[in-house]
Amino acid sequence: MPKFTVWAPDASAVSLVLSSGSVPMTKAADGWWSAEAEGGHGTDYAFSVDGSDPIPDPRSPWQPNGVHGFSRVFDTSRFAWSDADWAGRDARGAVFYELHLGTFTPEGTLDAAAEHLDYLVALGVEMVSLMPVAAFPGRHGWGYDGVDLYAVHEPYGGPEALQRFVDRCHAVGLAVCLDVVYNHLGPSGNYLDTFGPYFTSRHTTPWGPAVNLDDDGSVEVRRFICDNALRWFREFHVDALRLDAVHALADDSPRHLLAQLSEETADLAAELGRPLGLVAESDLNDPRMVEPVADGGLGMTAQWSDDFHHALHTLLTGERAGYYVDFGEPGVFAKTLTQVFLHDGSYSTFRGTDWGRPVDPKRHRGWEFLAYTSNHDQVGNRALGDRPALTPGQLAIGAALVITSPYTPMVFMGEEWGASTPWRFFTDHSEPELAEAVRTGRRREFASYGWDAEEIPDPQDPETWRSSVLDWTEVDASPHRELLAWYRDLLALRARSADLRNDRLDSVDISYDPDGSWLVITRGALRVVANLEAAELVVPLDRVPAYEVLSFGGAEIVTHGIRIPGHGVGVFGG
């Protein structure tokens, strides 16, 4: 007979609630309650804590009726995997493609997304990076307000659909990275504090009390997180996890949660015989994030590099507001291309303090850092959710600088064809008070930047979500198809070029016009030449290349350099 368990250390009574009635549970000394009852795969159940209404299992594997409904038993062993020969893929150096399931296709499901896997393979993608799938309130949302971290959002297809998706990815040679959020939970459907001390007032975060990683009861809370991560690897065959905003994981314990997770992940990788990755999003600009635990680091496989994004974005767009204030000069981009962080102990104007630590080119490798022209944050957290307003040539330059960099490249869905659709912040809360709080908070946030509140899209308006769905008809239309061909050519070049796969930071050389008209990047025998101006110019070179490898907009090798049209870019060799 199956055993149901739940951790509720301070409860006086806990009952297992089934369709047939309630079953009293027995408490063990460690605070875990258990009861045996009939019920296998597909059985609906919930818990009542000290007489509460039935609430979902904190480790619910399936929430078919939403985050307030009963949990459902899901037997992960029922799925017939076909990926026994899948050897895995190291996240470092893999070409990432970040996508949001609810807007990647009109259907907004895992099965619908799987119909585009051949397209991603042809593009040159190697790692599909899914934004969060943990169950969150409503139908449409980003997923960063998930509350049932072990379940898969039912509108996406539920847990078996995720198994099907990963299996199909592996069948065509694609690895899968899953975005997980351990630094906070959303407010709607969050019943964790009914069960135990999952949160602590010892630390605060932008979302309120911090997840309890170092206070009384934290051993089980840490186990809750690590078990969740290992479950995605073991039972869903995921290859890597992207850890959201790890700087908000407040942990003063002797062994940081990330170090613990790193070591447990490494043990599981050894057991499974394939690489498992942990990719951190961190605002700390601290290379300790990717240094081995044995050397005092936190053991992450890789981390996102927002400084590189900011330097590239401002170079191409000219924007300087907010956190872009210290960026924009060619020399800043040169630093982030060769040293990862602009702020590596220097003063950050936006933060109002010194920030970060330097990267050591002799110790740290480029593939430990992800580079990108955009991602869900850098688009969706703009007031209008607008993608960069750039010419096709400028988009091509951005792609070239990311893909030929020494970093692990990442593409945000649709950027490869210059998608015209925005990607906006959208929610689907059923509680009127919460919906209004999100709406007014969003407008208040951008009012300080001078935006008219009426211009800010209403997150609760279904049209805000619908307008963010990719328009796949653009792929075959000009100028989108030309940009898409450029991405494919660049990624194919990266795949076959040892020079472009060299991730030593000291293997990169960059020269540039101080006024920001052009720049030249040397990668072994290859040189990337970009004209940042709208008018044609000749980019001077100390040594004229022998041949053109590929170019966007056309280029001509002349006596003293490269004649290149406005917003043109090319790769040259010899």
The residue among 319, 310, 300, 448 whose CA lies nearest residue 375 is: 310
Q: Is residue 163 domain-shared with residue 72, that is, in the same domain?
A: no
For the chain, how many helices (H) and strands (E)?
Answer: 14, 29
107 has catalytic annotation: no
**Which CATH number is 346's domain given?**
3.20.20.80
Can the peptide bond before residue 330 be classed as cis, meaning omega within 30 degrees of 0? Answer: no
Residue 49's beta-bridge partner residues? 14
End residue of a domain, out of 495, 526, 553: 495
Strands 408-412 vs 369-371: parallel, antiparallel or unpaired? parallel
φ, ψ of residue 48 in degrees (nearest 5) = -115, 125
My answer on whether 401 and 511 are in the same domain is no
Judge if 298 and 261 occupy the same domain. Answer: yes
Claim to verify: residue 56 and residue 145 sit in the same structural domain = no
User: DSSP secondary structure string, 211-278?
Assistant: E-SSSTTHHHHHHHHHHHHHHHHHHH---EEEETTGGG----SSS-HHHHHHHHHHHHHHHHTS--EE
Find the DSSP H helices in 172-217: 192-195
112 exposed, middle or buried (CB, 10 Å; 0-12, 13-18, 19+)? Answer: middle
Query: Is 515 in the active site?
Result: no
Does residue 57 sit in the same domain as residue 122?
Answer: no
Structural domain count of the chain: 3
Return d(Cα 343, Cα 331) in angstroms, integer.
13
Structural domain contains residue 91: no
Q: Are residues 488 and 435 in the same domain?
A: yes
CA 15/CA 148 separation, integer angstroms: 20
Tell me, what amino acid is at 330? P
* Boundary of a domain, candidates 22, 52, 78: 78
Residue 435 lies in a domain: yes
- Which listed residue (57, 145, 281, 344) is catalytic? 281
Question: Quick check: is 500 in a domain?
Answer: no
319 lies in some domain = yes
Host H or E run for residue 151: strand 148-152
How far is Cα 370 from Cα 263, in angstroms, rounded to an integer? Answer: 22
What CATH number has the domain bearing residue 63? 2.60.40.10
Note down pLDDT in tens along the chain; length 574 residues.
Answer: 789 999 999 999 999 999 999 999 999 999 999 999 999 999 999 999 999 999 999 999 999 999 999 999 999 999 999 999 999 999 999 999 999 999 999 999 999 999 999 999 999 999 999 999 999 999 999 999 999 999 999 999 999 999 999 999 999 999 999 999 999 999 999 999 999 999 999 998 888 899 999 999 999 999 999 999 999 999 999 999 999 999 999 999 999 999 999 999 999 999 999 999 999 999 999 999 999 999 999 999 999 999 999 999 999 999 998 999 999 999 999 999 999 999 999 999 999 999 999 999 999 999 999 999 999 999 999 999 999 999 999 999 999 999 999 999 999 999 999 999 999 999 999 999 999 999 998 888 887 667 777 789 999 999 999 999 999 999 999 999 999 999 999 999 999 999 999 999 999 999 999 999 999 999 999 999 999 999 999 999 999 999 999 999 999 999 999 999 999 999 999 8
> pTM above the 0.95 mark?
yes
Residues 27 and 104 in one domain: no
Are residues 468 and 440 part of one domain? yes
Same domain, 334 and 354: yes
- For 110, counting Cβ atoms within 10 Å of its Cβ (0-12 exposed, 13-18 middle, 19+ buried), the class is buried
Q: Tell me which of 467, 495, 523 is where a domain ends.
A: 495
Residue 90 maps to a domain: no
Chain length of the chain = 574
Asked if 562 and 572 count as a contact pair (C-beta separation under 8 A), the reply is: yes
> Does 460 share its domain with 524?
no
| Residues forming a β-bridge with 515 | none
Distance CA 445, CA 165 (A): 37
- Tell me if 85 is assigned to some domain: no
Considering the domain architecture, whether residues 74 and 103 belong to the same structural domain is answered as no
Q: What is the CATH number of the domain that holds 536?
A: 2.60.40
In a domain, residue 103? The reply is yes
The residue segments making up the domain with residue 521 are 507-573
> Which one of 239, 244, 306, 368 is the catalytic residue?
244
Q: Are residues 10 and 141 in the same domain?
A: no
In a domain? residue 185: yes
